[in-house]
Amino acid sequence: MDVGYLAQYVMNGLMLGMMYALVAVGFTLFFGVLDVIKFSHGDVLTVGAFAGLATYLGLDLLGISSPVVLVLCVLSVSALCMALLGALIARYLVLPLRSAPPLNTLLITLMLGTVLRESVRLFYPQGANPKPFPALLPTDSVTMGNFNLRLDNVMMLFAGTIVIVGVHLLLTRTKLGLAIRAVAQDEETAKTMGINFKLIVLITFGLGSALAAFAGIMNGLYYNEINFGMGLLLGVIGFSSAIVGGLGNIYGAILGGFLFAALQTVGAVAMPFASAYKDVFAFGVIILIMAWRPTGLIREKVSERV
């Protein structure tokens, strides 16, 4: 195989992996603090992408055309709105069900996902159709043989890395991060140490949801298109990545995301004739991984190190 093609595939895989990792980190954060899975996470991503698109259209109407302003506004509005949405979900749907069977949390967030997805489809103007997403980043590119390195992709990878490193620093270097980790470790002890449990949960859900918004925008910029069903696929893949990495482990989630993207990319390279089956392949891999290592690939290694 040509080196150029290979580089192209690696680049695509990295982009996918970055998006999966961002979603997976969200799942891991939620599971960490509350031991719950928030199945609406993927659909929060969708809503985030659409909120970003709406922000762009609004600014466009106002005549703002500076790309830097546009990007910053789109990102911050979308991330803030989704952080709020995530906190609201935690406050009104997840926390009230704490004493109910865990199944109910799963069902309620799954149904909320449906409500969000359907709301986008029904209430966003022509929401049932795919929407073009504007190219907000410079699309200059360098071509080397068969490899076309686009500036916007490099910028997104860079931004994604910064976000993930930022979350990591937040968790490990700040008081807030310490509080989140304390809650994740042991809720009761954290409470007795004077940590406002509820607030920390809301902040964590807000943070995770903002990450989803970021991933949603990234998805829109990468494919130049968004649709109401995009979050379902990304949510399931993100969740699987989080599991592969051992739920509750942020490094595992990141690794899981890239691993999953690698698998998909390798699948696409190895079986070009079956490109139509790429999603079938992805879901098949998820089922196989669950059968093989239901508690994740990383966890055991970590416990050995402890």
Partner 1 sequence: MNDPRPRGGGLIACIVATIAVTAYVIALLVVESQIGILILLAGGVAAVLAAARFGVLARVGEGLARRENTLHLLAVVGVVVATAFFHEDHFILLMMATVILYVLATLGLNVQFGFTGVLNFAGASFFGVGCYTAAVLSMHTAVPHILVLLIGGLMAALIGSILLLPVLRTRGHYAAVVTIAFALLFKTFLEVNDVLGGPQGLRVAGMNLFGWEFNDNIQIGENLELSFYVNYIVLGLILLGLAFAFVRRLERSWIGLNLDAIRLDDTAAACFGLNIARWKITAFTIGNFLTGVAGGLYAMMLGFIAPTNFTFGDSLILVSIVLLGGIGNVWGLVVATTIVIILPEKLQAIQEYRFLLYGAMVILMLLFRPEGLLPRPLRRYFPGWQPR
Q: Residues interacting with partner 1, by CB under 8 A?
A: 37, 39, 93, 96-97, 100, 102-104, 106-108, 110-112, 114-115, 118-119, 122, 232-233, 236, 239-240, 243, 276-277, 279-280, 283-284, 286-288, 290-291, 294
| Closest separation in Å from C-beta 43 to partner 1 | 11
The nearer residue to partner 1, 158 or 283, going by C-beta atoms, is 283
The nearer residue to partner 1, 5 or 283, going by C-beta atoms, is 283
Q: How many CA atoms lie within 13 A of 17 on its CB side?
A: 22
The nearer residue to partner 1, 37 or 79, going by C-beta atoms, is 37
What is the end-to-end Cα distance of the chain in Å, rounded? 42
What phi and psi values does residue 279 have, to the nearest 5 degrees? -75, -40
Q: What is the CA radius of gyration of the chain?
A: 19
C-alpha to C-alpha distance for 73 and 217, rounded to whole angstroms: 12
| Closest separation in Å from C-beta 287 to partner 1 | 5
| Closest separation in Å from C-beta 286 to partner 1 | 4
The nearer residue to partner 1, 41 or 150, going by C-beta atoms, is 41
Tokens 């969000």, located at residue: 116
| Closest separation in Å from C-beta 132 to partner 1 | 23
The nearer residue to partner 1, 107 or 195, going by C-beta atoms, is 107
| Closest separation in Å from C-beta 115 to partner 1 | 4
The nearer residue to partner 1, 60 or 279, going by C-beta atoms, is 279
C-alpha to C-alpha distance for 187 and 66, rounded to whole angstroms: 46
CB count in 10 Å sphere of residue 242? 32
Task: Classify the C-alpha dihedral 193-94-161-266 as positive or negative.
Answer: positive
Taking a C-beta distance cutoff of 8 angstroms, is the pair 253, 24 a contact?
yes
Tokens 């990295």, located at residue: 14
| Closest separation in Å from C-beta 247 to partner 1 | 9
| Closest separation in Å from C-beta 111 to partner 1 | 4
C-alpha to C-alpha distance for 291 and 287, rounded to whole angstroms: 6
Taking a C-beta distance cutoff of 8 angstroms, is the pair 86, 210 a contact?
yes
The nearer residue to partner 1, 153 or 204, going by C-beta atoms, is 204
